[in-house]
Every structure is written in C-alpha cells, then in structure tokens.
Amino acid sequence: MHRHETSPHALGPGRIARFWLPLEATWLMMAAEGPFLAAVIARLPVPKENLAAFAVASALAWIVESPIIMMLSASNALVRDGVAYRKLRRFSFALNAAVTVVMIVLIIPPVFDLVARRVIGLNADVAGLAGRSMIFLVLWPAAIGFRRFYQGILIRDGRPQAVTWGTVIRLSTMAATGLLSALVFRLPGASVGAAALGVGVLAEGAASWAMARPTVRKLQRQTDVECEFGRSLTAAGVMRFYAPLALTSFLSFFINPLTTFFLAHGRSPLESLAVLPVVVGLAFIFRTAGIAMQEVVIALVGDAGENRRILARFTLRIGVASTAALAAVLFTPLAKVWYRTVSGLSPELAAFALLPGVLLVLLPFLESVLSYQRGVFVKARRTAPIGIAVAVQLAVTAAVFTLMVMGLKTVGAVSVGPALTAGYLSGAAVLVLTRGGSSRQGWLGQLGSTGG
C-alpha cells in the first residue's frame, strides 16, 4: 500500500489541506442529504407528521448502525498488509450480519410498536408512518459498514478522492430514488426519505468496493512473511481495539433517539420533532469540516505522533472558521432563507426553528476538537479513553435534557443546543485531560497542551 510521508519536514498545511479537502467534500455532500430529504418531505402531503416520522426512523436506524460506523477508522488504522486485511474483513462482515439481524427484529410490527409508541411516545399516525419507512432501511446499517470498511482502505492508501466519488454516486442515486418514490410511486414522505437513504448507500457501497479493488489486489499478493503486522494481529486484539470504538459510536448515535425522546415529551412536541432534522442538518453541514479531520489525523499524524502539533493547529483553524461560518447564517437573514426557501418549512415552523438553530452555533468548533483528539488516540491503538469520553458526553447531555425539558419545562427544540453543547464540552474535556500511560504512547499526554 501507499506509504505516507509523515515526517514533520514533509508535512505542511498545504499537504494536510489537499488530504482533508476530498474528505470534507465527502462529508459536506453527505450533510446535504438530510436537508434535501427534509425539503422533499416538507413539500409532500402531511409534512409535519412525515417529517417527525422520518426523524424517528432515521434515528433508530442510526442507533442500529452505530456499532459498525467506526469501521472506517479501524480499516484506516489497521489494514497495513494482506493478513490484517483478511482478519479485519472477517470481523467487519460478522458485524454487518449482526446489525442486519437487529434491523429485521426491529421492523417486526409488535416490536416496533413497543419502541415507537411506548418508549418514544409517538402517536399512532406518526408511529405508523415511521414503521413503514423502516422497511426501506433494513439493509442500510450493513451497507454502511461494508462501504466504510473499503473507504478506510482507500484513505490509508492515500486515495481520499475515491471516497468523494463514491459519495457523488450515493447522492445521485439518493436524489433519483427520492424523486421517483415521490413523483411516480407516491409514497408517504417518510418512506420517500427512507427509500432514498437505503438505495443511495447500497450504490455507494458497491462503488467503494470497486474502487478499492486495485489496493485489495496488492494486499492479497503479499505473502504471510511480508505481513508482520497482520500476523501479530489476533482476533482478541481486534476486539480490544474495536470494542471501545463500537461503544463510542453506539453512545454517540444514541444521542439522536435520546433527543427524539425528550422532544416527544417536552412542550410543542410535534413542532419540535418537525424542525429537528432541519436545524440539526444545518449545523451538521458546518460540523463536517471537523469530522473529516479524524481520518486525516489517523493517516498523517505518524506512528510516534510527530505531526501532532501541525495537525492540531490546522484543526483549530478549521474549528474556528466553521463555527464562524455557521454564525454568519444563524445570526443573519440567511437563517430565514434556509428554513423557509431551502428547507420548505411553513412560516410558523421557520419562526419556531430560529432560536433552536442559534443555540447550536458552537458545535462545529467542538466537533473539530473531538475529532482531533479521537484521531490521535486511534492512531496509537489506545481506544479505551474514547469510549469513556463519549459515555461522559452522553450522561451530561441526558442530564441537561432532563433539567430543561422535565424540570424547567422548556420547549423541546430549544433544549437541544444547550444539551448537545454541554455534552460535547464534557467529552472533549475528558480527552484533553487524559494522559498517555506508557512511554510508547506518551506523546498522547501532550494533547491538552497543544493547538496554538
């Protein structure tokens, strides 16, 4: 596989930017899918109920998907030779099968009714729309795991542009499926969104597999003698490495249904659930810049962390710029343009969304901090602190939601920004304060003192 030049003298801001830009473009295009689908659903019959149902269905699919989502980072960090490729592929495919079984169980009507109506507290109409849309997402988690495994291989091989092209294929297929489902098959809005998501990611998975074939063939030609790292990688070692990452993504994605739960039980529940994908989708567009940094850090930081400082400075600039850009939308008339013209919300819902959107303004900066911290820990194959940090993040988020929604009786959507911001701050603090515990990984102990 391609070997990156990662010495401090070889790596500069220009090279980091060239590596980061395709991944940022990928995340930016992915961020567009939520607002696009929300805009389509908002223009179909019964928009409030269908927007709420789509928010619930996608949140549940995300939580099922969560154990497999970190396969991108895992293959980026671990697929160093042919033996490691085969071992991680077996592990990945087993996880894909497991999440598919969970999805099949979840869409069984009595099971889904229990989750949607008794746990989340949806009314019968919204629960019915959400349950039918879940059928279109049954293969979505496994398809995500499949394509992220091969995307990690592409990134490790120095081909982030291929990941971008896969996302172009995904979005094109998603848009075509969404429009076909709405205009030809006349599906309910929530089902339109789910069908578009499901078919789009299947197309992207196939494209990622095809583009990774040259790299995979090179890996498969290696003899066992050449694969020193892979021979040392045991099944138990893979599990120890990946389990905290799976916990991280599981708990992170649990924030979405947690948010849905509190909004469904707060003031103005239908309005809050209806604007949730719109305001969160807008913030996500600007969070993508920081999210992309995690894979950049894993690929470029170096085995001894020699590029930590230059990557920290680059990440800091990305975080400040992305939060400033989001503020330029939220605190100007552009917010109304986004909510009404682009997202298609009614005047009442657009006005309702203004304050919840403003309260999310710090998330892009905090996302950048978290992505950098996670990247250096993954590169060092020291993943346990990442799981601890996200557990703290989830606990703080739930505590703030409980205080605002149950205690202060705040409008549900207004509580989202403070709860998520407090959670992000706590998670970042845990990682910054964590110190490396061995001389081999001691450079991690300097994380809290870098970035300027």
* The pLDDT of residue 435: 55
Least Cα distance to 293 among 30, 15, 20 occurs for 20
pLDDT for residue 206: 97
Tell me, what's the pLDDT at 11?
78
Question: Which tens digit of pLDDT belongs to each residue from 369-392?
Answer: 999 999 999 998 889 999 999 999
Give mean pLDDT, residues 330-335.
94
Q: What burial letters (b/e) apply to 244-270, b meaning 16+ CB within 10 Å?
A: bbbbbbbbbbbbbbbbbbbbbebeebb
> What pLDDT is recorded for position 292?
94
For residue 253, pLDDT beyond 90: no
pLDDT in tens, 87-117: 999 999 999 999 999 999 999 999 999 999 9
Q: What is the pLDDT of residues 163-176, one digit of tens each?
A: 999 999 999 999 99
Distance from the Cα of residue 365 to its chain's centroid: 16
Dihedral (Cα; 81, 86, 90, 91), 10-degree rounding: -10
Q: Please count the other Cβ atoms lying within 10 Å of the Cβ belonging to residue 201.
A: 25
Q: For residue 298, how many other CB atoms are within 10 A of its CB? A: 23
d(CA 142, CA 299): 25
How far is 265 from 267, CA to CA, in rounded Å?
7
CB 324 within 8 A of CB 374: no
Check residue 341 and give its pLDDT: 87
Both tokens of 355, joined, read 């304050």
> What's the pLDDT score for residue 39?
84
Asked if pLDDT for residue 330 goes beyond 90, the answer is yes
DSSP 380: T
- What percent of the chain clears pLDDT 90, i.e. is strictly above it? 67
What region, left, alpha or beta, does residue 121 occupy, with left being phi > 0 and alpha being psi -120 to 50 degrees?
left
Q: Which helix (H) or strand (E) holds 33?
A: helix 13-42
pLDDT at 31 over 90: no
> 206-240: b or e for each residue (b if 16 or more CB lie within 10 Å)?
bbbbebbeebbeebeebeeeebeebeebeeeebee
d(CA 245, CA 308): 21
Q: For Cα atoms 287, 91, 167, give the angle at the middle one, nearest 5 degrees.
A: 35
| pLDDT above 80: residue 260 | yes
User: What is the model's pTM?
Assistant: 0.82
Instruction: With a cut of 50, say whether residue 421 has pLDDT above it.
Output: yes
Question: Of residues 277 and 184, which shows the higher confidence score?
Answer: 184
DSSP structure string for 150-208: HHHHHHHTT-HHHHHHHHHHHHHHHHHHHHHHHHTS---HHHHHHHHHHHHHHHHHHHH
Contact criterion met (CB below 8 Å) for 222 and 82? yes
Question: What is the C-alpha separation between 210 and 166, in angstroms, rounded?
Answer: 10
Contact 138, 100 (CB under 8 A): yes
pLDDT score for 440: 38
Q: Is 40 in contact with 192 (CB distance < 8 Å)?
A: yes
190-211: pLDDT as tens digits: 999 999 999 999 999 999 999 9
Half-sphere exposure of 27 (CA within 13 A, CB side): 20
Provide the mean pLDDT of the chain: 89
Are the CB atoms for 98 and 172 separated by under 8 Å? no
- pLDDT value of position 444: 38
pLDDT recorded at residue 437: 41
